[in-house]
Structure 1
């Protein structure tokens, strides 16, 4: 029996979208409801669970069941975050299931299930209703459609009765309640068309070309989820109804429910919501992909596009995938390929860093694509588009791996990384969050993999490794790659007419060159363990209400520490120092760009970055470098076991960064790709717009290619080195460790360094910017044949006041209200935009830099029109003000996010603790944050709107392809 799809006139809205209890016996049911479905399983009507015939035990906390109609469900009780649940509805169908005249309907339906349903026929009320319950689109509700699945996601911010009722009603309607009324479909066509425009790219176009060459007789390259213009513009209602009734069926759906819940109550709720859905008499069949067998022999293809940012060469092998039950044997086979390709990736990484390198990067992989196709790929990116030299590297490394396999040291390094990753999964398992578990369970259901515990995964890994050796990894590698059925693909900006012949000749010539076996290298010890006499912590201040400890060492190093249990076995840290971008020399444009690229990549005086990776394999340490507005920072994450090593590494980067020439070489090797992207995509004009808005202050200007080429490591060293050793240093640490442990580790590292300054004063003239005059209009262009443009409006939102965190919050809410008005007007009413948004950005360092930005991607022909609409929307907001309902609907989801942040290490580290001794107002801001948000009044918002959002304060900007 088909679903009833009534014709009811409604006003449409669109969604935000995009493109395991162990069973002792194989036939033992995992729930009371499941006990009724054995016959269906036997007849194949209900899709069986992966664990039904596997030798791998599922996670016993997870409950599996199947309703009498064949719909599957998964329930997992999980306490974190408390009083929250996550829902996923998986539909085992995507664009591959479409008929030729339905290309794009699967994705279009993802939007349409929000445009009028059985419980929400007046779709204009659904999003506001969600917002009033604290459910924010994007943050709490989302969806995506791919080639072979469609997934709907709800992360509910509370478990109040009204919120749960809405969540189940919405999910139930997605599965069996879409009205698909003609007027709603027609109103949504513009939104889908806008999304297609916004997602168009040279990369997507090359994907179509390459897969058309690889699989000429398959529908895969003809079924991109976004669809065709013809279907988007003209597909009649019947095609939507056909797909919905034949593929949104119980036997093709799985509901995942995770969080702070009662399992028995959850099972009954699932039965009540989905149990009455009927399967059609003629359900949609399994997708027929066509012929996906590998083409015989050695094939060559050349694809050109002047907008490509780099030249890539790929060697590809494809073959149909034969499904095998997830098992220990299957996992060891996958492990062999993962190890082999990880080793090859390391080889390519080293080659790209060598002096005289002809590639900028390389990789190898083998994966199952869309459950039916095995795709293996060797890829290199050519330096300076010299594909002939790069081809030699590709062939040589491909053949070297086949001839000689892998050394013991290479194998040991990669295996150490694998073991460590699995061990960390075990350690962090007790604090896994419900949204992450829900998504993982959905992925396992989709790929027919057993959802086993991290402990089980680790045991299986170690058991498999006992019987594994580099020789066996080599044998598996050869078995897959030693085939004459290979496809060599060149993708470049321009090619000679005889490029295919040249590719064939060069490749054949290289196969005759003798190759040396890889050398088994010894691993040296980490050289940075002694930094001098240990320091002793000064008096500790305990901020009791926030449970933050602060102290200072005699050498001037300041420390902020908070012990948490939010993420088991995890510690995060950031050490801030110096003056950052505010202190950058005005005479050297792009110095920050080079510094950010080479600092960590340059390694240390006694170890290159490549040597560090080998030395530290299997350890949870690393250092990232960042340039902020008013400071530099070194950051990293670690575990209690590796805390000492992490602080030793961080201290080594403070005291002995090497600025090696290999890092500068790599940066400059990437310049052609970077500037090709800037020339042919929106990123180039967006960067120019940002610089223009601050009157082209040199610190905010991205360098020209000539300027970038002229930069040197010595300039970076001259700028940063004095600040590494002398400027004020404040480190913040948060996570699963104790204050005594942290003080002991710091005493031997940062506290042992020479005395530093205790403050970093940045002159007011360095912090004051001149902003573009308004009102104004400005156009920026880029070179592209892709008809993709952006309408942007900027409003100056800073009046040269000092740090004002309360104003930051209120400006953010003002932008949220404008964001909501843009969604309603541009997306829902006019269908002119897929993802318009507004954001506030107020600097805490630079005076006058603050702004509110409205951003709406779309088609070039509509940019001026959309920009004017946005200006008028904001101007009306400034003159007439917002409503209390608008403020409440923006505030309610905010409160849920605020509550969630209190259990996130990232919030405490980045928002509260980092530089909190330099800026004590951050502590007070954290203390009063929730109360301050609750105190925000409509009058405050409207006062800001009147000050910032008037037409005369706006800069209307158009970014589009040049004519």
Structure 2
């Protein structure tokens, strides 16, 4: 149902523990086996099913339930290609205890969101089902474990449901593919997955099989591979461990393995003695991208030595990335973009690790310089290693992150823990827990020497087992190298490289502490635990102390104005002004020097200028809050305008603009932006000529104008602090911000959609793939009640279109429905409905969409759908109330829009009183087609049919 995404949020990222085996010393006398986190309970049932149970209280009254099946597309027979993924879909279409769509319906009524919460993915080697649930309802928790067991052994495979699902998976293939990316992957994967099973078992499978397989074929896959001895149940959350263990035993002990168990094979990707090279072009791909892999055997070290190697590899990756970033920030880099890291090969598939290098060149003629430029840095590391000062900074940053995770160990979200347990079950990844990790690195991190790191770096950067891919526009074929030349660039790089010179400034971030101002008034909003301060220079500061995260303070600020105050001639330069300053550094430090100075600090501050506001946003730990305030002060008083940073931003802008005409989706989006912006100049994409006219001094002057007066700015701080502890910083660094006494606000530029009905067809693309975007919009009375109705209609319409377009028509994968509304600069709302489909189904599906809209106007939201929305909002509100970022954005928003600050406290009470009959009146008002836009992307040469009125 969703794409493969196994990025772990905890410290033990899979990338850190898949390392090459070398015998350099990490300062340890004896390497010891890593323990299992004592907070985790692992058990095994008599039928072979493994379970992982961990009590974790964030979020409160919530649990993450997962079913992991150690089988994916690699286990498919030739006549089953795509049926591992199809099986995953069928698990939601009927089981023994939940026929047809009753499972999804039941969970939605319990506040579980389909797609966002209830989800699954199929990969080459595993299939994983995800079910987050409330735990304050004992019956619901029991049902949740029962649902996992139904997926594990009792999927129905109803014939009618199978036939309906065929079309949905065909549409999933269409929405995820039928583009340049898919066409190029088909050519690249045989090289990437050279001589391995992975090259011939992509999870989406073969569409001709999806359309025609016999019912028994998918049942055979399920019966062969969905068996207890290949399955694990993972339960992490705010519950009684013994109760959950009992529920797992009750629901899973009865499952049986087949009498004749098929052997579970392990599939690997071989090393290649000779380089593998592939140059691929496509008419719809405008970038010039090089991907280079240097493969190594993969070894998982479940020892303390493995932890040291993991730290060393992470630091090597960070140091190498810092060097590449520094080159780009100089403004004369041979590449538009470059990156490099060592980790699991291609997402952790097979048995390999690799050094993975990516470069993007401005044009084909720049490819040689781009590739040799980044390869020079690989060779520089191989020959000379890193410096002691680089390693010192890398250690500081690494340790700061370990400390942050340790300090927040009791507030870590349950979802952040699950992926480590999945990797333990499927890959054998160690799971010692953050307590052990912290204590280990506290003792051993300093023992990781520069000699050891450089010895490991040399091994990592050896250029053997090379796989090289080059992608470009088909029209560039004559300007591209052949495979032999491309490979020669990689091999010949770095002959004259010299050791890296570390440029560091040794002086304070802020040379003089400002005199500061004073708090002149203080107001308490006790119902929200909020304090509002007024400073002597006019600055307003809104504070909400919380205990949600021990090591987190988040902040933002806004002042009215933004790019709406720029002239049309200066607009483009004004629109990148904050980006230029952010990329230039601050005070005495350029960006690279600033990054070095901030080593070991968990702090981030960035200025921004949008259409109507300017300000800053960022985050910090409590111990680094001084640095955060100093950076805020400097972005107002000592911004920099670095010509190199400006050149980098301008070149990236030009490359992206030049690439847009080749991408069907970009042309479609540009058309949408123009129509929904009333064809205002600022709602249309700039030309290359206009980008060429960008001017550094114009950008810098506009930035300084916007940040010259702070009397009307409002700051918001949320997190682990007390009002008293923050007051001295507020008075010193915010109370001293400049004031000129000007009075201004943002301008209304009248950027709004074209009035009335409008239809646009965009013809771009080579494949049978249409993208439909429908808009209903208008003016209205901006109020809490009306906004609530807009949200209800949005949720109901989303439910109905999934039922109609996906489940009934089998015509789309997942329709998107979104509503936006605002009173800045004027009140307006917009519904956007979008989906991809076959070209021949466009009019039928638009007609079905309009029919569902009319049903809402005629009858309102049904009692059942309203119940689902209320349940979802209740559960989501409980979670949001424990998140710093929710409160930050909420407070900033209500202040900016002039709304009652405590309205959130009445929200659910008001929502619970809404009746279906009230939604009918709202639907008639907000879903009327007075302003209806349909903008459809069709492939070139598509037959134009009569539109639906």
Is the shorter-chain TM-score for this pair beyond 0.5, marking a shared fold? yes
Compute the displacement of 1:82 (Å). Answer: 2.1
* Structure 1 runs not aligned, ≥5 long: 1-14, 20-52
Query: Aligned match of 1:140 in 108, 112, 117?
Result: 117
Compute the displacement of 1:208 (Å). Answer: 4.1
Compute the displacement of 1:661 (Å). Answer: 1.7
Compute the displacement of 1:754 (Å). Answer: 3.0
Match of 2:256 in 1: 278
* CA contact 1:298–1:485 (8 Å) conserved in 2: yes
Deviates more, 1:639-648 or 1:449-458: 449-458
Q: Secondary structure at the match of 2:690?
A: helix
Match of 1:229 in 2: 207
Q: Secondary structure at the match of 2:583?
A: coil
Match of 1:346 in 2: 322
CA distance 1:604–1:116, change in 2 (3 Å): same
Match of 2:167 in 1: 190
Distance, in Å, in 2 between the alignment partners of 1:785 and 1:592 is 37
Match of 1:949 in 2: 927
CA distance 1:236–1:94, change in 2 (3 Å): same
Distance, in Å, in 2 between the alignment partners of 1:202 and 1:599 is 35
Distance, in Å, in 2 between the alignment partners of 1:594 and 1:837 is 30
* Aligned pairs (5 A) from 1:766-785: 766=748, 768-782=750-764, 784-785=765-766
Q: Secondary structure at the match of 1:534?
A: coil
Distance, in Å, in 2 between the alignment partners of 1:528 and 1:878 is 60
Match of 2:679 in 1: 696
Query: Aligned match of 1:113 in 72, 85, 91?
Result: 91
Distance, in Å, in 2 between the alignment partners of 1:910 and 1:957 is 32
Tell me if 1:435 matches 2:415: yes
Distance, in Å, in 1 between the alignment partners of 2:210 and 2:259 is 28
Query: Aligned match of 2:720 in 726, 736, 740?
Result: 736
* CA contact 2:503–2:593 (8 Å) conserved in 1: no
Compute the displacement of 1:916 (Å). Answer: 4.9
Tell me if 1:810 matches 2:793: no
Match of 1:887 in 2: 866
Distance, in Å, in 1 between the alignment partners of 2:370 and 2:71 is 40
Distance, in Å, in 1 between the alignment partners of 2:457 and 2:588 is 35
Q: Secondary structure at the match of 2:520?
A: coil
Match of 1:792 in 2: 773
Match of 1:896 in 2: 875
* CA contact 1:788–1:960 (8 Å) conserved in 2: yes
* CA contact 1:533–1:748 (8 Å) conserved in 2: yes
Compute the displacement of 1:117 (Å). Answer: 0.6
CA distance 1:604–1:109, change in 2 (3 Å): same
Compute the displacement of 1:509 (Å). Answer: 4.7
Distance, in Å, in 2 between the alignment partners of 1:461 and 1:683 is 47
* Aligned pairs (5 A) from 1:499-510: 499-507=482-490, 509-510=492-493
CA distance 1:863–1:89, change in 2 (3 Å): same
Query: Aligned match of 1:626 in 599, 602, 608?
Result: 608
Match of 1:26 in 2: none
Match of 2:298 in 1: 321
Compute the displacement of 1:379 (Å). Answer: 2.4
Summarize deviations over 1:190-225 as a string: whole Å, max 9, x none.
Answer: 100111111114334434433312443112122221
CA distance 1:741–1:518, change in 2 (3 Å): same
Query: Aligned match of 1:379 in 320, 343, 358?
Result: 358
Tell me if 1:152 matches 2:129: yes
Distance, in Å, in 1 between the alignment partners of 2:265 and 2:792 is 46
CA distance 1:683–1:519, change in 2 (3 Å): same
Query: Aligned match of 1:679 in 662, 671, 683?
Result: 662
* CA contact 2:294–2:464 (8 Å) conserved in 1: no
Match of 1:296 in 2: 273
Distance, in Å, in 1 between the alignment partners of 2:122 and 2:569 is 49
Q: Secondary structure at the match of 2:707?
A: helix
TM-score normalised per structure 1: 0.90
Match of 1:718 in 2: 701
Match of 2:558 in 1: 576
Distance, in Å, in 2 between the alignment partners of 1:584 and 1:299 is 52
Deviates more, 1:857-866 or 1:245-254: 857-866
Match of 1:859 in 2: 838
Distance, in Å, in 1 between the alignment partners of 2:296 and 2:492 is 27
* CA contact 1:562–1:733 (8 Å) conserved in 2: yes
* CA contact 1:364–1:378 (8 Å) conserved in 2: yes
Query: Aligned match of 2:145 in 152, 155, 168?
Result: 168
* CA contact 2:284–2:663 (8 Å) conserved in 1: yes
Compute the displacement of 1:152 (Å). Answer: 0.9
Tell me if 1:268 matches 2:251: no
Match of 2:445 in 1: 465
Query: Aligned match of 1:877 in 830, 851, 856?
Result: 856
Q: Secondary structure at the match of 1:855?
A: strand
Tell me if 1:845 matches 2:824: yes
Deviates more, 1:447-456 or 1:254-263: 447-456
Q: Secondary structure at the match of 2:222?
A: helix
Summarize deviations over 1:659-697 as a string: whole Å, max 9, x none.
Answer: 322222112222354231463141342233133123122
Distance, in Å, in 1 between the alignment partners of 2:749 and 2:935 is 26
CA distance 1:179–1:914, change in 2 (3 Å): same
Q: Secondary structure at the match of 1:540?
A: strand
Summarize deviations over 1:808-846 as a string: whole Å, max 9, x none.
Answer: 221011011111110011000011011102111112303
Summarize deviations over 1:833-869 as a string: whole Å, max 9, x none.
Answer: 1110211111230325421111112233322332222
* CA contact 1:529–1:648 (8 Å) conserved in 2: no
TM-score normalised per structure 2: 0.91
* CA contact 2:504–2:596 (8 Å) conserved in 1: no
CA distance 1:781–1:617, change in 2 (3 Å): farther
CA distance 1:807–1:708, change in 2 (3 Å): farther
Deviates more, 1:451-460 or 1:819-828: 451-460
Compute the displacement of 1:919 (Å). Answer: 4.5
Match of 2:580 in 1: 598
Compute the displacement of 1:735 (Å). Answer: 0.4
* CA contact 2:92–2:104 (8 Å) conserved in 1: no
Deviates more, 1:878-887 or 1:224-233: 878-887
CA distance 1:436–1:314, change in 2 (3 Å): closer
Tell me if 1:365 matches 2:341: yes
Q: Secondary structure at the match of 2:833?
A: strand
* CA contact 2:520–2:535 (8 Å) conserved in 1: yes
C-alpha RMSD over aligned residues: 2.4
Summarize deviations over 1:82-105 as a string: whole Å, max 9, x none.
Answer: 222221111112122222322211
* CA contact 1:771–1:849 (8 Å) conserved in 2: no
Distance, in Å, in 2 between the alignment partners of 1:584 and 1:131 is 47
Deviates more, 1:241-250 or 1:542-551: 241-250
Deviates more, 1:53-62 or 1:390-399: 53-62
Query: Aligned match of 1:448 in 411, 422, 428?
Result: 428
CA distance 1:864–1:606, change in 2 (3 Å): farther
* CA contact 1:589–1:707 (8 Å) conserved in 2: no
Compute the displacement of 1:72 (Å). Answer: 0.7
Summarize deviations over 1:690-719 as a string: whole Å, max 9, x none.
Answer: 331231223333323322222223222333
Distance, in Å, in 2 between the alignment partners of 1:591 and 1:932 is 45
* CA contact 1:360–1:382 (8 Å) conserved in 2: yes
CA distance 1:339–1:82, change in 2 (3 Å): closer
Q: Secondary structure at the match of 1:101?
A: helix
Compute the displacement of 1:305 (Å). Answer: 2.3
* Structure 2 runs not aligned, ≥5 long: 6-30, 942-949
Match of 1:616 in 2: 598
Distance, in Å, in 1 between the alignment partners of 2:732 and 2:591 is 23
Q: Secondary structure at the match of 1:752?
A: coil
Q: Secondary structure at the match of 1:850?
A: strand
CA distance 1:616–1:156, change in 2 (3 Å): same
Match of 1:242 in 2: 220
Compute the displacement of 1:304 (Å). Answer: 2.0
Distance, in Å, in 2 between the alignment partners of 1:537 and 1:231 is 71
Tell me if 1:306 matches 2:306: no
Match of 1:75 in 2: 53
